[in-house]
Structures are given as structure tokens and as C-alpha cells.
Structure 1
Amino acid sequence: MSQLLTRLSAAERALGRLDGVSILLPNKELFLYMYVRKEAVLSSQIEGTQSTLSDLLRFETEAVTGKPLDDVREVSNYVDAMMYGLERMPELPISLRLIREMHGRLLDSGRGATQNPGEFRSSQNWIGGTRPGNAMFVPPPPNEVMNCLGEWERFAHAETPGIPPLIKAGLLHVQFETINPFLDGNGRLGRLLITLFLCTEGVLRQPLLYLSLYFKTHRADYYRLLQEVRERGAWEAWLEFFLDGTAETANQAFDTAHRIATLLAADRERIVAEANRTASVLKVHDLMRTRPFLTAVAVAEKTTLTMPTVNAALAQLQVLGIVKEITGRKRGRVFAYSAYLDILSEGAGV
């Protein structure tokens, strides 16, 4: 138990630092916008999709993508489900209704569209193997799903002063994955609910903690520990893993936030010091904070700049080494904010 308390203390300290940096960020909406997308990519990669963060961002800006469209669409759906959950939380706290609505968005299109989006399962599913008889794990039968979910929801909302919110988040995650209430998307939704719960409990003011990189890096341990809870009630080993992941992930997010803020400030200073037509170049740079892949047409649409001014500003950013043209074409060229993407993409593919 002392090991668990030590890990809990480290995780809470790391979360406190991360929550503090959200106040210091010059544009926390920007950081959240990009970080949510990184989480969507990582969580989907655990389930086997091949999309990278660059694929998603290029898909969103209608630039060229080299990956199967279904893969990118699944990740885009995850972003939509997560943002929907965050927006709904003030009026609709974590509940079975919110979970169903988020699931409907998660599986709205792509390969999951045939797996009853937004509906709790009415048939048996299993994990591993080819049938329940040889599966690694068989979740509760369909006639018990609603009863189990009702208990899960009651525990989520219960006053539990003796259970710190971080510990409770770890318990709720295992319970949700064990119930496995949908035909598809349980893992992605269950990971998303961790952060929503911590925001609901006031542990985080901004939803900046996402554990999918840690779970992806330690995928074998993640699945093994979930199974050991089910088979032997090994809660303490799972919670130690969960708290270690929380501390490591929060510290990485803190570091990433600082590096991004430093990069954006340094590039802005270089533009002011070295660029011609500083105002228009700064305008394009500001736009690339939220759209690190851009075409000249998109810049003209999103700003009041003319096409000649846009092209001149993009040329300046290329000369400064801040953006790169990535297609090699003369028409329909796509520009990337490479250093920014490099920081964000660590662990999520290129």
C-alpha cells in the first residue's frame, strides 16, 4: 500500500504542474486543439489503425493523404467524439446517455459504422480468440450489460471521500473495459472517459491528460494487467501501472507545452526581426498554429490577405526555414510547419 501512496503522490504532483501550465500557455485552446488530435491518433493506433498525426491534419485541411481513408476518418471521428463530450459536460455530466451519444459520433462512419453506433450491445462479444469458447476474455452477457452499466454509473457519481479521484478514475476504466458495453470502440471510449472524469472531478481545469501514448508504449502490460484484475482481483498492480502512466504522461505534456510555447515565441521574434511585410507574415504564422498544413488558397480564405500577399508571406516563411513546401508541385502546393509538427508528433508517427 505504501508503494501505491508514493505513486499517487507523484501522479498528483505531476497533474498539478500540468494544470498550472494551462494558465501560462499563451493560447491553451491551440494546445488543446492539437493535443486532442494527437490523443485521437494514439488511441486509434492501439486498435490497429495506421494513421499518423500528419495524416489526420492533412485530411482535415483537405490536403493529400497517403493512408487509407477509413483509417483517417476513424481518427477524425474520435476527435469529434472527444470534443462533443467536452462541450456537453457542463450540462450533461458523465452518464450512460453521454457515453451513447459520444459512441454514436465515434463510429459515425468508416469501418465501425456497421457496429451499431450509439447503441449498447444486444449480442455477446469477446476479446481474443475466434469465439467465446477460446477467447482470452468474455464480457458479461447482453442481458446483464445494462445492470452492470447502471452500477458503473452509480459508482462514478457516488460520493467516495475515501477514494482519491485518480484512483477512482483507474477503477472506473477497468470496470468499463470489463463490461465492454459496445460491439466496437470500447477501448477508445474508455480511454477518453479517463480525462473527462478527471475534469468532472476538478482534478484538471483543462483536458490535457491523455494516457494513450503510455498505454500504446506498454500495450502488453496494459492488457495483461486488465486481465489480471478480472481473473485474480490484482487491483494494486493495475493501479500502480495506471498512476505511473499518469505521472509520466502529465510530465511529458508539461514538457511539450513548454517546448511549443518556446518555439512559437522564437519564430514570432524571428519574423518581427527578419521578415519583410511583417504584418502579413505574422498573420500566416498565427494561422499555422492551428493549421500546421496549409495551402495558399486556404490562407486567403481564412484571412483578409490577397493571393499575391499570401504567396509572398509563405515564401518569406520558407526563406526563414519556418515552413516547408511538401508536395514539390507548382499548383496546389501544401506548406507544413515542420518544427511544430515534430514536437507534437513524438510517439504518434510522423
Structure 2
Amino acid sequence: MIAVARLEAGFGQYMAPLADFLLRSESVASSKIEHIDAGWQAFGKAVGGAKASDEAKSQLAAVQALTAMVGAASVGPITVRDLLAAHRLLMSPDYYASRDGGRFRDAQNWIGGSDYTPLHALFVPPPPELVADLTDDLLTFAARTDVPIIAQAAIAHAQFESIHPFVDGNGRIGRALISAIFRRRGLTSRVTVPLASVMLANTARYFDQLTAYRAGRVDEFIEYVALAAVHAGEAAIESARTLAELPVRWRTAARPRAGSSDEALIAGLLDQPILNIDTALRIAGTTESATYRALDRLVAAGILEVLSAAKRGRVWAATDILAELDALSAAIGKRTAAELK
């Protein structure tokens, strides 16, 4: 809790961009655990509204689902309606999966083994007729305020994964539940702790810890999540410091004139690191031709990268912020690996 509190207290109020940065990082890492990885450039296209791959759309949907879960937790206890709404968002990009979006499964599922039989499965969740009652019980636990926060979030996540209430998307919604509980209990009020990056760094260990929980070793899973919060919080603080230094670096590289479109765009990049022309026009506050020229100058200075060059749907991104997203994931991975030595 101390590492999370340091992140929130030291940088949560410093800049809203950190909140968006960490939320996107958490969502993308959570998607990667499920082997959905479009890459940051493709993901940036999806964020900017350009034509994007199915994987990029799925990662963007994960951001929207996490945003919905955390937003709901900010105003009240997490409800079944909140879970179903987030799941509907998550499944929406896929035509076939969307048919099961926003509703509990009505068939038996299992984890591991064959696609055709639960024989030799690693885990068989409860039958579908028990899912609604078990989820209600879980959310009653998640609404309590007399349980240590990290323990509550860890247990709620592991129990959600054990119920496996949806046909697909259980991992991403279950990991979003951790962030939602952190927000509901007041451990965070602005930032999202990138716990999924820790889980992604060693997925075998993450799944082993869930198996240990199902075998009754609850304390072991709580300790795992607590250590994950420490690693994620400390690495996120380093990224926050890097982000805070970027505007000075950008101004040095571009040397914008006072009051220019270039200066306005640089000032807005932390808040809006992925731009389409409409967003750029709003930030620059000038004509379309002047805004395009400013964007071209920032590309030439190495501050922006063109992700989509199509005349319609052109998208730019702040190169340093995209790089820092990868750097955060790598830093968390190193911390996780060092712990196991």
C-alpha cells in the first residue's frame, strides 16, 4: 500500500496525463496476457480513430472497459450491471464475441486441456446455473470496507477468475476488478497501478498463484498481489518522473515561438499524446493549414511520429511517450525477474 500511496500522492495530482498513461499501460498489458498484442503504433491508430487491426481495436476496448469499471467504482459499490457493461465494451469489437458480451455464460467452460472436453483441464469453474449467485456473493465481499484493501482486491480477483462468469474476457475484466476496488476503497483516486505488467512479466507464476488460491493458499496469493503492487508502483514512479521532464526536452528540440501553434501542441502533448487533426486543431487553436505545418515541424524535430499517413484519418503520436510505455513494461519485468533470483 505504501508504494501505491507514494505514486498517488507524489504524482497523481501533478498531471492528469499520468492517469491516462498508466490506465492504457495496464489495459494493454492485461490484453497481452491473453495474447492480444497489436503493438503501440497500431494501438495508437485505434486511439486516434484511424483504420486499425482487430487486435488494436480489442486493446482499445480493454482500455474502455477498465475506464468504465474504475469510473463506476468511483461513485459507488461495484454492481453486476457495472461488470456486464464493462464486459459488453470489452467484447464489442468482435462480431462473434459481442453476442456473448454483457451477459453471463449459459454453458460449462474450463481452463486448459482440450477445446472439446474438460477431461485433463487445469480447472473447471462452477456450472452456469451457479454463476449469478456466486457473482452476487463476490460483489458483496468487494463492497466491504472492513477488509485490508490489498487482500480484498487480491481475493476478489482470484475468486472472479475461479467463477469464470463469462464465455470470454474473464481475465481482463477480473484484472480490472483489482483497479476498481483500489479506487472504491480510496487507495487510488487518480492513477491506475499497472499490476498487469507484473503478471505479464511471468505469466506462469501468475497462473500458478491462481491455482494455489484455488487449493486454499489464499495468503500466498495476497502476498503475490502485494509484491506486484510494490514493483508496479515503484516502476510507475520512475515513468512519472520521465514524463514530467518531457515538455522541457520537447521545447529544447523544437524551439517554438511564443504563442505559436507549435508551442500550444507541445503544451498539450502530455494530455493528448495521440492526435488526429480534429484534436490537434482544438489544441492549437488556429487554422487547419497552420496546424498541419506545426505538426510537420514537430515530426521533423522528432517529437511526433506519423502513425497513419492516410489523408483521411491521419494520426500522430508523441514518440517519447510511446517509448516510455515500453520502458515501463520492461522496468516492471526486470523488477519481477530480480525478485525471483
5+ residue gaps, structure 2: 331-341
Aligned-partner Cα distance in 1 for 2:36–2:12: 34
Deviates more, 1:280-289 or 1:168-177: 280-289
Aligned-pair distance for 1:330?
9.8
User: Could you tell me how far 1:297 is from its partner in structure 2?
Assistant: 6.7
Instruction: Please tell me whether the aligned partners of residues 41 and 52 of structure 1 are also in contact (alpha carbons under 8 angstroms).
Output: no
Query: Secondary structure of 1:124's partner?
Result: coil
- CA shift at 1:150, angstroms? 2.3
Q: 1:153 to 1:276 in 2, by over 3 A?
A: closer
CA separation of 1:195/1:64 partners in 2, compared to 1, >3 Å: closer, same or farther?
same
Q: Superposition pairs for residues 178-189 of structure 1, below 5 Å?
A: 178-189=162-173
- Is residue 21–residue 257 contact of structure 1 (8 Å, CA) maintained in 2? no
Structure of higher CA gyration radius: 1
Identity over the aligned pairs, expressed in percent? 27
Alpha carbons of 1:298 and 1:227: their partners in 2 closer, same or farther (altered >3 Å)?
A: same
The aligned residue for residue 292 of structure 1 is: 273
Offset of 1:319 from its aligned partner? 4.8
3-state SS in 1 of match to 2:106 = coil
> What is the aligned partner in structure 2 of residue 306 from structure 1?
287
Q: Offset of 1:329 from its aligned partner?
A: 8.9
Q: Distance in 1 between matches of 2:71 and 2:176?
A: 14
- Cα distance in 2 for partners of 1:165, 1:328 equals 46
1:276–1:316 contact (8 Å) kept in structure 2: no
Structure 1 residues 23 and 166 mapped into 2: Cα distance closer, same or farther (>3 Å)?
Answer: same
User: Kindly tell me: are residues 158 and 84 of structure 1, through their superposed partners in 2, closer, same or farther at Cα, counting changes over 3 Å?
Assistant: closer
| Equivalence for 1:149 | 135
2:93 to 105, 109, 127: 109
> Which amino acid letter does the alignment assign opposite residue 21 of structure 1?
G
- 1:281 — aligned with what? 262
Which of 37, 41, 45 is the matching residue for 1:50? 37
CA distance in 2, matches of 1:295, 1:101: 28
Q: Give, in angstroms, the shift of residue 41 of structure 1.
A: 1.3
Look up the match of 2:336: none
SS in 2 for 1:138: coil
State which of 14, 18, 26 in structure 1 corresponds to 2:3.
14
Q: How does 1:81-120 map to 2 (within 5 A)?
A: 81-110=65-94, 113-114=97-98, 116-120=100-104
Give the direction of change, closer, same or farther, for the CA distance of 1:137–1:262 in structure 2 (3 Å limit): same
Asked if the contact 1:115/1:184 (under 8 Å) is kept, the reply is no
Give the partner amino acid of 1:142. P
Greater shift, 107-116 or 237-246, is seen at 107-116
Please report how far the alpha carbon of residue 124 of structure 1 lies from its aligned counterpart in structure 2 after TM superposition. Answer: 0.3
Displacement after TM superposition at 1:312 (Å):
3.4
Q: Which amino acid aligns with 1:337?
A: A
Matches within 5 A, 1:198-347: 198-230=182-214, 232-268=215-251, 271=254, 274-276=255-257, 278-294=259-275, 299-300=280-281, 303-325=284-306, 335-346=316-327
Conserved 8 A contact 1:112-1:184:
no
How many residues align? The count is 328
CA displacement at 1:91 relative to structure 2: 4.0
User: Does the CA contact (< 8 Å) of 2:26 and 2:193 recur in 1?
Assistant: no
Conserved in 2, the CA contact under 8 Å of 1:57 and 1:291?
Answer: no
Deviation, 1:293, is 4.0
What secondary structure sits across from 2:19 in the alignment?
helix
Please, which of 3, 20, 25 is the counterpart of residue 33 of structure 1? 20
Contact 2:262/2:284, CA 8 A, preserved across alignment: no
* 3-state DSSP of counterpart to 1:153: helix
Mark the runs of 5 or more structure 1 residues left unpaired by the alignment.
Answer: 1-11
Determine the structure 2 residue equivalent to 1:4: none
Separation of aligned partners in 2, 1:332 and 1:119: 34
Q: Name the structure 2 match of 1:75.
A: 59
Decide whether aligned partners of structure 1 residues 323 and 176 sit closer, same or farther in structure 2, where only a CA change above 3 A counts: same
Q: Distance in 1 between matches of 2:314 and 2:98?
A: 36
- Kindly provide the amino acid, as one letter, of the partner of residue 229 in structure 1: Y
What value does the CA root-mean-square deviation take over the aligned residues? 2.7
- Change beyond 3 A, Cα 1:333–1:164: closer
Is 1:59 aligned to 2:46, yes or no? Answer: yes
Contact persistence 1:81–1:105 (CA under 8 A)? yes
CA distance in 2, matches of 1:303, 1:243: 43
In structure 2, distance between residues paired with 1:203 and 1:301: 34
Deviations 1:7-65 (A, max 9, x none): xxxxx22111111123452x22x222232222221111111112123222212213465
Q: Helix, strand or coil: the match of 1:202?
A: coil
1:134 counterpart residue number: 120
Kept after mapping to 2: 8 A contact 1:71/1:110: no
Deviates further, 195-204 or 55-64: 55-64
Are the structure 2 counterparts of residues 329 and 177 from structure 1 closer, same or farther at C-alpha, using a change threshold of 3 Å? closer
Separation in 2, partners of 1:325, 1:86? 31
